[in-house]
Amino acid sequence: MSDVEQVEIEEVVAQQPVDNFEEALKVVLRNALIHDGLSRGLKESVKTLAKNEAELVILVESVTEDSIKNLIKGLAKGGEEPIPIVYVSDAKQLGEWAGLSKVDREGNARKVVGASVVVIKNFGVDTPSVDVVLSKAA
């Protein structure tokens, strides 16, 4: 028995509404990362899509392999309910937003790893940023 009482605190990154798509996507990805709702990379994303657990797919436009694009699009659209897809331009930026980087003492991202696809399984907290991102989804 412990004399210290543990209280769970739910973290929310940003509550104010965000109109900019990139800022909204950063908030959504950060909330999903906090609540363990992200699948990062091709292998994890394909597993999540195959299990039909995905809520949103974020795909990089500059993927050179057409087979990767076709696989992700096919799995997203081929289920019982189509999963929305959002496109971003830079893989390194997506990797940084998805937490695939080291953070130094000043809070700057170092050693950023690019991600070609990220799948959100759980948004975590329903913020206005989720609506902004879903309105841009194809």
Residue 31: Cβ within 10 Å count: 24
Is residue 14 predicted with pLDDT exceeding 70? no
Is residue 103 predicted with pLDDT exceeding 80? no
113, 100 Cβ separation under 8 angstroms: yes
Q: Please, what is the angle between helix 21-34 and helix 128-136, to 10°?
A: 120
What is the residue extent of each domain of the chain? 21-136
pLDDT range class, residue 138, cuts 50, 70, 90: low
Task: State the Cα angle at 63 between 99 and 76, rounded to 5°.
Answer: 80
pTM of the predicted structure, to 2 decimals? 0.77
Reported CATH class of domain 21-136: alpha beta
